[in-house]
Amino acid sequence: MNPNTVQAIDTYIESNKDRFLNELLDLLRIPSVSADPKYKADVALCAEAVKQRMVEAGLDKVEVCPTAGHPIVYGEKIVDPKLPTVLVYGHYDVQPPDPLDLWHSGPFDPVIKDGMIYARGSADDKGQFYMHVKAVETMMRTGGLPCNVKVMIEGEEEVGSDNLGLFVANNKQKLAADVVLISDTSMIANDVPSINTGLRGLSYLEVEVTGPNRDLHSGVYGGAVANPINALCEMIASLHDADRRITIPGFYDAVQELSAAERAALAEAPFNEEDYKKDLQIDAVRGEKGYTSEERSSIRPTLDVNGIWGGYIGEGAKTVLPSKAYAKISMRLVPDQKSDTITKLFQDHFVKIAPPGVKVVVKPHHGGEAAVTPIDSPAYLAAAKAMEETFGKKPIPTRGGGSIPIVALFEAELGLKTVLFGFGLDSDNIHSPNEKYGVFNYFQGIRSIPRFFHHFAASGRKA
């Protein structure tokens, strides 16, 4: 990379630092919560704001594309059709801010404290996708883009990207590219840069257990009639055995076991279990026998209850045998488990294990497939080189535990591999109260992305 270009890029970023930060804060003030219909207008407002910012950055053909749900914002800069094209993906929607009383400042009232930007969406994903908008601006104002870019920022990632699949399938030409670049994952630490090379899949369901046709007096009927909450708890408890393996028949059939060499490579990443426990204030870790905490949270499938409710939860006591009980259950999947297959296995099993006297309904929500990204592609090498330059250290490839279902979809629909160029940290509290993103991380991203573009452009065409 030309040293004058590097210098020009870094100088431009440095001299626009305050504006780059303030623009992000403005975006964070828009409560673009995709899950809750009461924020629908704010989500639409956010899409317009993103569009405006993309125009200002110098992108062409910027448009807000309506979908059956929340809109997708798209823009591109084609400098030369013969050059490679990078498709940037991100999401401007955010998780609900609840529970509100645990926030130290308003979730949509961003504050910077001790070098961290506190706000819902700061790390997931506004702070991360906006790095790309600012990186494009920076390249445009310092000699131009070294290759083509297409930017697609959606508004439904946090609710399962229901309408994105159709958009991608209907716009294959528009989205044609050589590689997908996404900043929506985390690194090991600010002094231990890493690149995520895998994401887990997901199967999300809701279950409803019904006992008697109405709530009953627990003294008059209790002991003689099945209590749906008791039944639900027994059923859920039976889904793991003593080794913390999932008991659904067939659940592990398609799981790809990693070779000893692959596991050894993963174990190279620094991980301190004592610090991990201390941070979470837990006295022990717990998970599948035979695997480390890092493996349990990345290369192994899991089953977790996300919410459970029913009966009386108001003030004081009410002696009641409830009619209904509910739970939301998610399973994180690994290659080659298929989301639909696992959902079906769960459904059949859960209905089968219902004790006498209760009826069970399982309602599938969204799902998505796991993905593994290459570590020897020109795009990965370009990303690794860019990070090595900005962090002064080679990034370590790691497998992540979260899900971005669109990654598998990009591969299936567009034949594209992804580079997960994330700059967050696991401690950023994404989806939790007091979500935060480091000012350092934001600018490291803005500095690293133009370097990626230059290295990738220099490496030729195919990812």
- Among candidates 335, 277, 346, 273, which has minimal Cα distance to 305? 346
Q: How far is the CB of 365 from Mn ion (least distance, A)?
A: 15
The phi-psi region of residue 223 (left if phi > 0; otherwise alpha if psi is between -120 and 50; otherwise beta) is left
Q: How far is the CB of 227 from ligand BES (least distance, A)?
A: 31
Which of 310/367 has CB closer to Mn ion? 367
The phi-psi region of residue 218 (left if phi > 0; otherwise alpha if psi is between -120 and 50; otherwise beta) is alpha
Q: Is 124 in the site for Mn ion (CB under 5 A)?
A: yes
Q: How far is the CB of 91 from ligand BES (least distance, A)?
A: 6
Nearest residue (beta carbon) to ligand BES: 402
Which amino acid is residue 108, in one-letter code?
Answer: F
Which of 142/444 has CB closer to ligand BES? 444
Residue 33 binding target from ligand BES, Mn ion, none, CB below 5 to 8 Å by type: none
Which of 199/334 has CB closer to ligand BES? 199
Q: Is 154 in the site for Mn ion (CB under 5 A)?
A: no
Q: How far is the CB of 197 from Mn ion (least distance, A)?
A: 17
**Window of 119-127, 215-223, 356-364, 389-397 that interacts with Mn ion by CB under 5 A:** 119-127
Which of 124/154 has CB closer to Mn ion? 124
How big is the chain by its Cα radius of gyration, in Å?
24
Residue 118 sits at φ, ψ, to 5 deg, of -95, 120
Residue 297 binding target from ligand BES, Mn ion, none, CB below 5 to 8 Å by type: none
Residue 403 binding target from ligand BES, Mn ion, none, CB below 5 to 8 Å by type: ligand BES
Residue 400 binding target from ligand BES, Mn ion, none, CB below 5 to 8 Å by type: ligand BES
Quote the CA–CA distance of 326 and 208 in Å, as a whole number: 5
Q: How far is the CB of 387 from ligand BES (least distance, A)?
A: 16
Q: How far is the CB of 410 from Mn ion (least distance, A)?
A: 15
Which of 76/124 has CB closer to Mn ion? 124
Which of 155/405 has CB closer to ligand BES? 405
Q: How far is the CB of 184 from Mn ion (least distance, A)?
A: 4
Q: Is 125 in the site for Mn ion (CB under 5 A)?
A: yes
Residue 154 binding target from Mn ion, ligand BES, none, CB below 5 to 8 Å by type: none
Q: How far is the CB of 185 from ligand BES (least distance, A)?
A: 4
User: Which residues, at least 6 apart from 41, have a Cβ–Cβ distance to it below 8 Å?
Assistant: none
The phi-psi region of residue 250 (left if phi > 0; otherwise alpha if psi is between -120 and 50; otherwise beta) is left
Residues that bind ligand BES (CB under 6 A): 124-125, 157-158, 160, 184-186, 199, 202, 366, 368, 400, 402-405
Residue 31 binding target from Mn ion, ligand BES, none, CB below 5 to 8 Å by type: none
Beta strand 198-199 with 324-333 is: unpaired
Four-point Cα dihedral 285, 289, 291, 292, nearest 10 = 20
Q: How far is the CB of 374 from ligand BES (least distance, A)?
A: 18
Residue 160 binding target from ligand BES, Mn ion, none, CB below 5 to 8 Å by type: ligand BES
Q: Is 93 in the site for Mn ion (CB under 5 A)?
A: no
Q: Which of 93, 154, 184, 294 binds Mn ion (CB under 5 A)?
A: 184
Token readout for 406 is 């669109």
Residue 202 binding target from Mn ion, ligand BES, none, CB below 5 to 8 Å by type: ligand BES
Q: How far is the CB of 307 from ligand BES (least distance, A)?
A: 14
Which of 158/178 has CB closer to ligand BES? 158
Q: How far is the CB of 141 from ligand BES (least distance, A)?
A: 29
Which of 247/427 has CB closer to ligand BES? 427
Which of 322/402 has CB closer to ligand BES? 402
User: Which residues, at least 6 apart from 299, have a Cβ–Cβ distance to it below 8 Å?
Assistant: 198, 258, 266, 291, 334, 399
Residue 343 binding target from Mn ion, ligand BES, none, CB below 5 to 8 Å by type: none
**Window of 164-172, 183-191, 225-233, 387-395 that interacts with Mn ion by CB under 5 A:** 183-191
Q: Using CB under 5 A as the criterion, which residues of the chain lie in contact with Mn ion when the complex forms?
A: 124-125, 184
